[in-house]
């Protein structure tokens, strides 16, 4: 009996040993055969120091195929800090190519980790003199130091070469391609370069037919607009759009940002990383009177010869809303045309009450307010329109003059003005023309919705006529463009909160020439106080510069 128990235990032990042996064989097979390449690569990666100096990314072009990225190739020294021998030969070589002194080189090395980049100023250094741990090659500079069109182009996350903002982010799948150049150094456990392998310069050559983006932006107009707004030293946004096809040919946001150094803006309260043209909405102020007027015209609630009276304010229950003529005792008697070009709050509040909040907001929605315009940039916000109880009672006062719960982006204002310039026909705005090859050959055009009428032609013509008066004898009469065909537009001065403080923003949106218009221009100036004094003069300068360029 005792022997049988021993035999049974021995048999169980044998089975257990055999089972463990089988598991070990399976595990060895898994490691040696199935996962061989993965573990080999992992081991090699632990012994490889690698730097990508030509990121795999497509180009971004303007409409004229002027490249807006990958501006230049700059000779650069790459120093593998853990491999370099900091001797006299090392410092002399770096000094000869970079122009940095011995002390400056020491400071750069001391403040850096891993692989160090130093730009080359004198490229006459001999390659065979290169010390250990130093490599010389060209580095592609993706963004210009001038930061042209920075908010539209956006930026990438350098660690993984992924687009994070603007066109770089929206079209990352197109722009990011498997075609890069890299430098690798293979080392042993003691961080010594392995003889026979050492430095490896590799270029992946996956063939890609279409990996670049062509914008509707016109570089020459874009630069002119940026120069003008920078000279004025203003914060805000400007959009210029082609009336005939809806192409956005310029988009500027200020303050500007340096795409090469995004980190320095992360704690800033100036919001440099925000594209003010699409990413922040503001009260449109008197620009919204266009919406009120169109709603009244469509519903036959106003006639051209009707007389209104402005006493300098309107009383809505316990709320008193002043007109800018308040201190002068009001505008007195005036018709709707005069009320428009004088931007009379009193008359438009009276008109808004007659039309009703619902019809005004319905017209606003038809003109693109409260919705994403969708030009190809993910950062766009939809603004704000009042709803529900926000449209009741005295709220019509603020609604009628573009205040209160109404907010719009400069892009939405441009969209409205484009429709009016086209006599009530809606044309889709866009900033991307299509996907192209690196050589600029069109592969796929970005589709747009078909044109459609959203405003009766007669109503649009009346508004256009009124806007011409704004420039010749109204709130924008300080500008003069008759020498280049004249202009039409509307000013706006909007009360708002900025950094928790009350301020007044300035707007002007319009088009030129006034007959057969070619370009819509929207100018928004933060803390501009008066649209007629801050934004309209910039509109004039931009229009003159575009005319001078022959665009």
- Contact yes or no for 353/433 (Cβ under 8 A): no
pLDDT at 39: 52
Burial 436-455 (b: 16+ CB within 10 A, else e): bbbeeeeeeebeeeeeeebb
Name the nearest CA neighbour of 331 among 352, 351, 354, 348.
348
pLDDT at 514: 95
pLDDT at 46: 45
Rounded Cα gap, residues 399 and 417, in angstroms: 19
pLDDT at 367 over 50: yes
Name the nearest CA neighbour of 93 among 122, 57, 71.
122
Percentage, residues of the chain above pLDDT 70: 84
Is pLDDT larger for residue 127 or for residue 252? Answer: 252
Name the nearest CA neighbour of 420 among 382, 455, 385.
455
Helix (H) or strand (E) holding 252: strand 248-254
90-99, 465-474, 492-501, range with greatest mean pLDDT: 465-474
Mean residue pLDDT across the chain: 86
pLDDT at 357 over 90: yes
- Contact yes or no for 176/161 (Cβ under 8 A): yes
Stated pTM of the model:
0.83
Query: Mean pLDDT, to the nearest integer, of 420-445?
Result: 94
- Contact yes or no for 79/137 (Cβ under 8 A): no
Q: Give the start-to-end residue ranges of the domains of the chain.
A: 49-149+181-214, 219-549
Locate 489 and state its tokens.
Answer: 């537009």
The pLDDT-based confidence of 49 (bands split at 50, 70, 90) is low
Burial 205-231 (b: 16+ CB within 10 A, else e): eeeeebbbbbbbbbbbbbbbbbebbee
pLDDT at 525 over 70: yes
- CATH number belonging to domain 49-149+181-214: 3.90.1310.10
Is pLDDT larger for residue 43 or for residue 58? Answer: 58
pLDDT at 44: 46
Record: fold of 219-549: Beta-lactamase (3.40.710)
Query: Mean pLDDT, to the nearest integer, of 299-328?
Result: 92
pLDDT at 121: 80
Is pLDDT larger for residue 72 or for residue 346? Answer: 346
pLDDT at 45 over 50: no
pLDDT at 42 over 60: no
171-180, 394-403, 411-420, range with greatest mean pLDDT: 411-420
- Contact yes or no for 539/507 (Cβ under 8 A): no
How is the beta sheet containing 236-242 ordered, strand by strand?
248-254, 236-242, 519-525, 501-512, 488-498
pLDDT at 165: 94
Q: What is the pLDDT of residues 82-138, one digit of tens each?
A: 777 778 888 888 888 888 888 888 888 887 776 788 888 876 655 557 787 787 877
Is pLDDT larger for residue 79 or for residue 248? Answer: 248
Q: What is the pLDDT of residues 438-454, one digit of tens each?
A: 888 999 999 888 899 99
């Amino acid at each position: 009996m005792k022997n049988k128990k021993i035999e049974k235990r021995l048999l169980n032990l044998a089975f257990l040993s055999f089972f463990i042996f089988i598991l070990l064989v399976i595990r060895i097979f898994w490691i040696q055969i199935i996962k061989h390449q993965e573990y080999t690569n992992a081991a090699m990666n632990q012994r490889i120091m690698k730097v990508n100096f030509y990121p795999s990314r497509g180009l971004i072009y303007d409409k004229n195929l002027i490249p807006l990225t990958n501006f230049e190739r700059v000779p650069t020294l790459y120093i593998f800090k853990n491999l370099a021998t900091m001797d006299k030969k090392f410092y002399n070589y770096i000094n000869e190519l970079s122009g940095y002194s011995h002390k400056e080189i020491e400071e750069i090395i001391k403040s850096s980790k891993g692989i160090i980049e130093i730009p080359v100023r004198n490229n006459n250094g001999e390659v065979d003199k290169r010390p250990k741990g130093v490599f010389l090659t060209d580095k592609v500079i993706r963004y210009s130091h001038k930061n042209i069109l920075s908010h539209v182009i956006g930026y990438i996350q350098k660690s993984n070469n992924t687009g994070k903002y603007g066109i770089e982010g929206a079209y990352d799948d197109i722009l990011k391609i498997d075609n890069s150049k890299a430098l690798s150094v293979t080392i042993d456990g003691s961080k010594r370069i392995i003889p026979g392998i050492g430095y490896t310069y590799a270029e992946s050559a996956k063939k890609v037919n279409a990996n670049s983006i062509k914008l509707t932006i016109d570089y020459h107009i874009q630069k002119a607009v940026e120069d003008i707004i920078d000279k004025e030293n203003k914060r805000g946004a400007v959009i210029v759009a082609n009336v005939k096809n809806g192409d956005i040919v310029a988009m500027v946001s200020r303050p500007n940002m340096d795409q090469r150094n995004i980190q320095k803006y992360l704690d800033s309260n100036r919001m440099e990383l925000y594209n003010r043209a699409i990413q922040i909405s503001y009260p449109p102020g008197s620009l919204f009177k266009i919406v009120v007027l169109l709603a009244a015209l469509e519903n036959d609630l106003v006639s051209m010869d009707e007389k209104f009276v402005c006493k300098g304010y309107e009383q809505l229950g316990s709320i008193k809303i002043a007109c800018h003529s308040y201190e002068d005792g009001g505008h007195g008697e005036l018709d709707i045309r005069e009320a428009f070009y004088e931007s009379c709050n009193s008359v438009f509040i009276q008109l808004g009450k007659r039309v009703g909040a619902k019809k005004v907001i319905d017209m606003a929605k038809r003109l693109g307010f409260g919705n994403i315009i969708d030009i190809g940039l993910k950062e766009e916000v939809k603004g704000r329109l009042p709803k529900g109880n926000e449209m009741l009672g005295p709220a019509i006062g603020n609604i009628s003059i573009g205040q209160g719960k109404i907010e719009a982006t400069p892009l939405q204002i441009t969209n409205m003005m484009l429709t009016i310039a086209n006599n009530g026909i809606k044309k889709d705005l866009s900033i991307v023309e299509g996907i192209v090859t690196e050589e600029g050959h069109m592969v796929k055009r970005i589709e747009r919705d078909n044109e459609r009428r959203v405003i009766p032609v007669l109503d649009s013509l009346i508004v256009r006529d009124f806007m011409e008066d704004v420039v010749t004898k109204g709130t924008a009469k300080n500008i003069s463009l008759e020498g280049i065909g004249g202009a039409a537009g509307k000013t706006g001065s909007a009360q708002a909160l900025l950094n928790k403080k009350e301020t007044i923003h300035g707007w002007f949106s319009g088009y030129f020439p006034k007959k057969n218009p070619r370009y819509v221009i929207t100018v928004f100036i933060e803390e501009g106080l008066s649209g007629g004094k801050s934004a309209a003069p910039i509109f004039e300068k931009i229009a003159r510069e575009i005319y001078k360029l022959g665009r």
